[in-house]
Amino acid sequence: MTTIKDIAREAGVSVTTVSRALNGYSDVNEKTRAKIKDIANELNYSPNALARSLVTNKTKTIGLLVSGMKKESIKDNFTYEILCGINDMSAEIGYDLIFFSTNSTMQKEKSYAQLCRERKVDGVIIQGIKTDDPYLQEVIDSEIPCVLIDIPIESNSVGYVTTDNELGAKNITEYLIDLGHKNIAMINGHNRAFVSQQRFAGYRKALSEANIALQWEYVIDGAFDEEVAYDATLKLLNEHTEITAIVCASDLMALGVMKAAKTLGLSIPSDLSVTGYDDIILASYVSPTLTTVAQDKYLMGQKATRLLAELLEGHTNERKVIVETEIKKRESAGKNTRI
Amino acid sequence: MTTIKDIAREAGVSVTTVSRALNGYSDVNEKTRAKIKDIANELNYSPNALARSLVTNKTKTIGLLVSGMKKESIKDNFTYEILCGINDMSAEIGYDLIFFSTNSTMQKEKSYAQLCRERKVDGVIIQGIKTDDPYLQEVIDSEIPCVLIDIPIESNSVGYVTTDNELGAKNITEYLIDLGHKNIAMINGHNRAFVSQQRFAGYRKALSEANIALQWEYVIDGAFDEEVAYDATLKLLNEHTEITAIVCASDLMALGVMKAAKTLGLSIPSDLSVTGYDDIILASYVSPTLTTVAQDKYLMGQKATRLLAELLEGHTNERKVIVETEIKKRESAGKNTRI
DNA sequence: ATGAAAGCGCTAACAG
DNA sequence: CTGTTAGCGCTTTCAT
C-alpha cells in the first residue's frame, strides 16, 4: 500500500509537502505539486481515510439507524424509498453511509451513542424507531448531530423531517365524509409511533368538524401490520355492520382490511370504502386500487440528508422540515351507498 | 471523549494494560481488569474504531457497491430484498455495512479499488453492476475479497452468488410449451448482464429440445425496463400476431408487456400468456397475477454475506453459491387457445 | 515554499 | 502479570 511517505521519498520532499500538495493547499510550488501528483498516480496512491479521520476528527460518514430492514417488511418499501433518497443526496454532498448492523440482541449491549462514537460518524439519520425506544433519549442527550424521520424532536443538534400527518389524516377523512360516510372506523398503527397519534388527531378533528361523534369502538390499533389489521377488521365489521368506511394509518394495513372485506364478502368500494396512508407501490397495483395519502418518501430521505448536512456545517436555519402529502383518489373509496 | 489514556491514568496502569484488559486478553489480573472495566464504564468510554483499524488493518466493515438505488427503480424491490438479507447476516457476523455513495460523475474519478482502499473495507459485495463496467475488471485484479451477485466470476479473492438462470428460463419456457404454446417470444434484458445471456440460453434450449425453431425476431431486449418493454411489445405483437406467449427476463418488464397487451386489447392469459422473472412483490398483486421464476433475493443477500465472511476468514470451501429458483404458477400464463 | 516534530487513539512486540 | 517503546498514515503547528 502506497503512503504519502513513499511519495515523499520518491519526490525528494517531506511528507508535509506531499500532504499539502495533494490536498490542494496554495502554499506549494506548482511544479512540486505536479511532480507529487504524478508520482502519486504512478504509485497508485489513495489516501487512508482512517488515518485522516483520526487526526481531523471528521469521517465524512453518516450513520444510518434504520429499523424495518427485516425480511418481514419487504412488502413495505417505505424504508427503501427513504433509503434511496438518502443515498442519492449523500452521494451529492460527498458523504458515505454506514449501516449500523445491530440486531435486537446487540442493541441491548451497545448504546446508540457508543455506536456513533466508535465509528466516529459525523452525523446520524434515524428512521423507524419507536417513541419508547431507549435510543431516542440518547439521541437527544448526545451531542451528535442527528436527523429523525417522523419523530418531531428538535434541539441544538437534532432536527427532523416529517409530513403533516394530522392534516393528511384529516383530509382523507373529510374526503370520506364528503362521499357521504358517517360511520367511519380507523385502523391505526400503535401509540408508540408519533405518526399514529397525529393521524388519529386528524381523523378525530375531521369527524368533529363534521359534527360526527367519535366512536371509540371504531378505533383500533393494527400495529402497522397487514395480518393484525386483517384480524382486527374481521372483528370490527362483525360487531359493527353499520360501518361504511375505514381509514387506515398505513397502506399495508389497508391491504389487510381489503382482504378482510373479501373474506366477509363485502365489495369495495360499494359496501365498504377503504383508504390507506403512505402510497406504497402496491397501492396502485392492487385491485381495486387504493385511495391513500401519498408521502414522498424519496424526498423525505433527500431532505433528511440535506438537513443533516446543514446541521453538520453549522449553518442551520430551520431544524424542521415538513414534506407535503397528497391524496391519491383511486378506486377503493366511493360514495356511501347505504344512505 | 474518553480514551484509554484517561482510563490508564485513572486506574494507575499503563495504556497497554487497559487495552489488553478491555480486549479480553488472558494475561491480565482479573482484579485489574475489573477495576479498568469499572472505570471505563464510569467514564463512558467507547473505543475509537478508527484508531484500532489503523493499527490492526481491519475495519470489520463490508463495502457495498449497489447500483439500482435510484428513484426510478423503486418499483423493483429486488435490490432492497438483497440488501435486507445482507443487512441481517452482517449484523449476525458482526460487520458493519458501508455504502459507497458514488454517483455517475464521481464514478469516473474514483476507481473501485480506490474506494475500497480509502475506506479500508475488509471486503465488498457488488450487485447490479454491468458486465462492461470498468469496475468489474478492477475487482478481479484487486486483492480485496469480494462477492459478486449474479456475475459468475471466481478467483482467489472473488466469489459469487447467483441462481441457475439458464435452468430457470428453460423451466418456465417449457412450462409454456407444455401449455401448448409454440410461438413464444422473449423480452430479454440486455447483453451486458450475465443473467440475460443465461436466460436466453435457457429459453433457447427449451425451444430446441421441443423442436421449435428459434425465431430471432421473437427475441428483443427490453433493457430490464418497464417502458422499454412496453414499447418493444407493441411493436413485436403488431408485427407478429402469431405470438401467443412471451417470456420476460424480469417481472418489471412483464408488467410492461401486460400493459402493452391491454393497450392492444389482448386479454391475458386467453390471448397472450406472459411470464416474468424475479418474483417481485408486485407479481402477486397485479391483475392477473404474474407467473414467474421466483428468486429468493433475501437468501441471496444472506449467502453473499456469509460467503464473504468465509473469504475474509480464509476458510473458504466453495466460492460459488447457487440459490434455487422456483416457478410460481399464477394467472398470467394459460393454455394456448389458438391451437 | 518547505521541513521537522508532535500527535490523533490504539495495538503489538518485547522486556522485565 | 505489567510497562516501555514503536508505529499505523495522516494533518498541523511552528520554524525556517
pLDDT at A109 over 70: no
Distance of C1' in C11 from CA in B53, Å: 9
pLDDT of residue B72: 76
Segment A60-67 shows an average pLDDT of: 91
Q: Give me the phi and psi of B180, to 5 degrees please.
A: 100, 5
Residues of B in contact with A85 (CB under 8 A): 71
pLDDT at B108 over 60: no
Segment A212-234 shows an average pLDDT of: 97
Segment A218-238 shows an average pLDDT of: 97
Distance of C1' in C2 from CA in B131, Å: 47
Give the neighbor-by-neighbor strand order of the sheet with A184-188.
Answer: A219-221, A184-188, A245-248, A273-278, A291-295, A325-328
Segment A7-14 shows an average pLDDT of: 94
Residues of B in contact with A117 (CB under 8 A): 1, 46, 48
What helix, strand, coil percent values describe chain B, rounded to 5?
A: 45, 15, 35
What is the nearest nucleotide to A45, using C1' and CA? D9
pLDDT of residue A40: 95
DSSP state of B204: H
Q: Whole-number mean pLDDT of chain A?
A: 93
Residue B195 near residue B165, CB atoms below 8 Å: yes
| DSSP for B260-307, written as a single string | HHHHTT--TTTT-EEEEEE--GGGGTSSSPPEEEEE-HHHHHHHHHHH
| Closest by Cβ to A88, choosing from B61, B71, B282 | B71
pLDDT at A59 over 60: yes
Q: Whole-number mean pLDDT of chain B?
A: 93
- What's the pTM? 0.93
Strand partners, A188: A221
pLDDT of residue B134: 81
* Beta-carbon separation of B50 and A48 below 8 A: no
Count of helices and strands (H, E) across chain A: 13, 12
Distance of C1' in C7 from CA in A29, Å: 27
Pull the grid cell for residue A93: 454532498
How many residues are present in chain A? 339
**Residues of chain A (153-172) having a beta carbon less than 7 angstroms from strand C:** none
Which of A99-108, A279-288, B80-89 shows the lowest mean pLDDT across its residues? A99-108
What b/e string do you get for A155-189 counting C-beta neighbours within 10 Å, with b at 16 or more?
eebbbbbbbebbbbbbbbbbbbbebebbbbbbbbb
Alpha carbons within 13 angstroms on the beta-carbon side of residue A207 total 21
Please write the tens of the pLDDT for every residue from B127-180.
Answer: 988 888 888 888 888 889 999 999 999 998 999 999 999 999 999 999 999 999
Which residue has its C-alpha nearest to nucleotide D13's C1'? A16
Which one has a higher pLDDT value, B138 or B221?
A: B221
Q: How many CB pairs under 8 A join A and B?
A: 136
Please write the tens of the pLDDT for every residue from A235-285.
Answer: 999 999 999 999 999 999 999 999 999 999 999 999 999 999 999 999 999
pLDDT of residue A64: 93
Strand C and B51 CB separated by under 7 Å: yes
* Beta-carbon separation of A298 and B71 below 8 A: yes
pLDDT at B102 over 70: no
pLDDT of residue A141: 86
What is the nearest nucleotide to A36, using C1' and CA? C2
pLDDT at A103 over 80: no
> From A282, which residue of chain B is nearest by alpha-carbon distance?
B282
What b/e string do you get for A110-124 counting C-beta neighbours within 10 Å, with b at 16 or more?
ebbbebbbbbbbbbb
DSSP state of A182: -
H or E stretch covering B188: strand B184-188
Please write the tens of the pLDDT for every residue from B82-96.
Answer: 999 999 999 889 899
Which of A57-71, B199-213, B288-302 shows the lowest mean pLDDT across its residues? A57-71
Which one has a higher pLDDT value, B121 or B136?
A: B121
* Beta-carbon separation of B74 and A81 below 8 A: yes
Which one has a higher pLDDT value, A72 or A44?
A: A44
pLDDT of residue A75: 84
pLDDT of residue B75: 85
Pull the grid cell for residue A132: 419508547
DSSP β-ladder status, A325-328 and A291-295: antiparallel
**Residues of chain B (4-43) having a beta carbon less than 7 angstroms from strand C:** 4-5, 15-16, 19, 22-23
Which one has a higher pLDDT value, B210 or A108?
A: B210
DSSP state of B237: H
Please write the tens of the pLDDT for every residue from A200-220.
Answer: 999 999 999 999 999 999 999
pLDDT of residue A102: 65
> From A94, which residue of chain B is nearest by alpha-carbon distance?
B101
Distance of C1' in D10 from CA in B156, Å: 31
Nucleotides of D under 7 A from a protein CB: 1-5, 7-13
Nucleotides of C under 7 A from a protein CB: 1-5, 7-13
Mutation site for A-interface testing, chosen from B67, B101, B114 by largest number of A Cβ within 10 Å: B101
Please write the tens of the pLDDT for every residue from A291-323.
Answer: 999 999 999 999 999 999 999 988 888 999 999
Please write the tens of the pLDDT for every residue from A160-205.
Answer: 999 999 999 999 999 999 999 999 999 999 999 999 999 999 999 9
> From A85, which residue of chain B is nearest by alpha-carbon distance?
B71
Tell me the torsion sign for CA atoms B255, B257, B259, B262.
negative
What share of chain B in percent tops pLDDT 70?
A: 97
pLDDT at B110 over 80: no
Distance of C1' in C3 from CA in A10, Å: 16
What is the nearest nucleotide to A14, using C1' and CA? C3
Distance of C1' in C16 from CA in B55, Å: 25
Segment B114-133 shows an average pLDDT of: 90
Please write the tens of the pLDDT for every residue from B51-75.
Answer: 999 999 999 999 998 887 888 778 8
Q: Give me the phi and psi of A68, to 5 degrees please.
A: 85, 15
Residue B126 near residue B139, CB atoms below 8 Å: yes
Residues of A in contact with B53 (CB under 8 A): 50
